[in-house]
Chain A
């Protein structure tokens, strides 16, 4: 167990230690301990200002993609999953099969066909090329579906109907609260997936001003390769550290919602 913890934490420790070094010290000093000048804050300042502050722009892009992409994905998954769990209609089995199939296809495999389709639509190299594919989360939909089937008792819905509440009102006042842990889970998955999305923006975007952090940092990293190389590994490392901070914060803030369902054991089953 402790071995596993060391294995997981070592890269983070390394990342932090090395983001306190200058490019020169990074190359010439021992990697797993502090040495040379402590320039963490200089590195942060330089990361935020290098190349006219493009890092801040990338951070903003990533946030935009996460809010619209992951937010939209969560909303659509919630609506779809709830509907599939609580209402009966013809063709439900077929939808079930399609969604299970979709869960099995990795996003990377779809990236190239998606690219060709989007270029026909004239949407490549725009923010929509990142946001629209991020809206689709078959796994999230499936998760909400399964979760809603268990955590939103049909009896409560029936009681609400008897009391004369409309389906929409029932959904927004009762079901959505019961679904909250599931929604948070789906949101977390979607946020992490969008935040870390690499391959899709890599092929969709060619304009550095539209890059999310993942592609931007890789571009900085590649700057140290080949003819005319100008390595800025210290900024790549500091940038990487800054990049994981919001995700860690999101986890810490959201995990308290991430508990067993409110109504677990609420009715006789």
Chain B
């Protein structure tokens, strides 16, 4: 299967169209459809009814839409399953560039939001009274949907990182669960020395989402956007700290080269070839459905830290829903969005499908915290994951051209992986290419 190549072609095309759209759309932002937006207009629109289109890849969407249509029988929601974020973003970008064909409501990953906010493709939901929903969500997810003095969507799920590990491997070798990255390296050495086919984790070096999350956790803040002025500094202290740590794993052959999300990967997660994963809190559902043979073996622990002190982690994945400027019925779309991510009815459906919520009440509910996962050998995994959600460090931003940046990650940082060199050199190259691209797109980019 050539998923990765296809993904890269798709990302490249997104980037190409993004370039066009940034130029094309920068002129017309801030049109609110006559200034009649308010919380009341949402209620009125929901009563009046109509048809809206919703693009998503959430497995629970079908049940959510059914529940919504039952609650608001005058509204019809046309659901389009877009399967995964990469193609979804490409299509959305195409429709926005083209000026027609975009849905009314769409799912967007947090990392893709800035790319759509900046050219004015999304509706600022402040006027619909969405500010009152702030207290519903964790600080990190609310922060992700509210950049540039606007509310651009509502969080659906979150992915605070934790360390998922195969206890069979760790206990079999008598290794303690690492709490610092130094211990993690030592554990990696012990595992690989005992069985050269086994690795502490896999990282073939093509996953920008993983790299940026790890930099985030290390305290790096390489991207800062202020209007059209962007700072890219992938040599700041945190970025270096991660790169130096990961260099040790890389150069000592401790990282498995298995590409993520392949059948080989799921196999390795089942049989212990990959002993641990630092990854988002949504992983338990994926493990349960896709690595059934790993049942009983997996546990979850907080992310290792650099100094062994206060727990600190980052978000990995997670997404929100947004209303698009192209929508012909923004009030109705906003009403659907509000029901989708701020009503308990909808969130309950979402939780039932195994999603990891972004809503504080659900994260703190006894039912959620006391859930004992059979797959995880009866461990109360949510206690660990909710702690992680509360220790996500703040101040992280993504680039306004993150899709393009991600598409060239494997050509820059990935090269360091290929020749087992210095990841810092790859990061420097990634930085240089991002500065070049951003400048070409009309941003003022500095280091």
Contact = CB atoms under 8 A, between A and B. Distances in A.
A227 B90 contact: no
B286 interface: yes
Interface in A113-147: 115-116, 119-120, 122, 124-125
Interface in B39-60: 55, 57-60
Interface stretch (B249-257, B289-297, B306-314): B289-297
Nearest to A233: B263
A231 B285 CA distance: 12
Nearest to B266: A27
A37 interface: no
Interface in A187-235: 198-199, 202-203, 206-208, 218-231, 233
A224 B84 CA distance: 9
Contacts of B267: 27-28
A116 B59 contact: no
A100 interface: no
A226 B87 contact: no
A203 B90 contact: yes
B282 A228 contact: yes
Contacts of B57: 223, 226, 228
B317 interface: yes
Nearest to A111: B13
A76 interface: no
A227 B266 contact: no
A28 B293 CA distance: 8
A85 interface: no
A236 to B, nearest CB: 8
Given A27-B266, A227-B318, A115 B98 contact: yes
Given A24-B293, A27-B293, A218 B13 contact: no
Interface residues of B, number: 54
B365 interface: no
A198 B290 contact: no
Contacts of A120: 98
A28 B271 contact: yes
A222 B280 CA distance: 18
Interface stretch (B1-9, B69-77, B229-237): B1-9
Contacts of B290: 27, 224, 229-231
B99 interface: yes
Interface string B101-113: 1000000000000
Interface string B9-30: 1100100110010000000000
B17 A124 contact: no
A227 B157 CA distance: 9
A221 B100 contact: no
Contacts of B80: 206-208
B97 interface: yes
Interface string B258-272: 000101001100110
B84 A27 contact: no
A26 interface: yes
Contacts of A95: none
A110 to B, nearest CB: 12
A220 B1 CA distance: 12
A119 B98 contact: yes
Contact of B91 (A111, A203, A228): A203
Given A28-B271, A115-B98, A116-B98, A226 B261 contact: yes
Interface string B135-166: 00000000000000000000001010000000
B58 A221 contact: no
Nearest to A240: B1
Contact of A221 (B3, B16, B20, B293): B3
A21 to B, nearest CB: 10
B99 A119 contact: yes
A19 B271 CA distance: 22
B319 to A, nearest CB: 7
B282 A227 contact: yes
B374 interface: no
B175 interface: no
Given A222-B83, A228-B58, A206 B17 contact: no
A112 interface: yes
A31 to B, nearest CB: 8
A203 to B, nearest CB: 6
A125 B92 CA distance: 12
B162 to A, nearest CB: 14
Contacts of B319: 227
B86 interface: yes
B355 A229 contact: no
A226 B89 CA distance: 14
Among A24, A111, A198, A224, the one with the most B-chain Cβ atoms within 10 Å of its Cβ is A224
B95 interface: yes
B270 A27 contact: yes
Contacts of B13: 111-112, 199, 202-203
A221 B101 CA distance: 25
Nearest to A221: B3
A198 B7 CA distance: 12
Contact of A124 (B94, B159, B353): B94
A206 B9 contact: no
Among A27, A223, A231, the one with the most B-chain Cβ atoms within 10 Å of its Cβ is A27
18 contacts: A26-B263, A112-B16, A116-B98, A119-B101, A124-B95, A125-B101, A202-B90, A203-B90, A203-B94, A207-B80, A208-B81, A219-B81, A222-B84, A227-B282, A227-B319, A228-B60, A228-B353, A229-B289
Interface of A: 24, 26-28, 108, 111-112, 115-116, 119-120, 122, 124-125, 198-199, 202-203, 206-208, 218-231, 233, 236
Instruction: Please list the 4 inter-chain residue pairs (A to B) with the smallest Cβ-Cβ separation, ordered nearest first.
Output: A119-B98, A222-B84, A219-B83, A227-B282
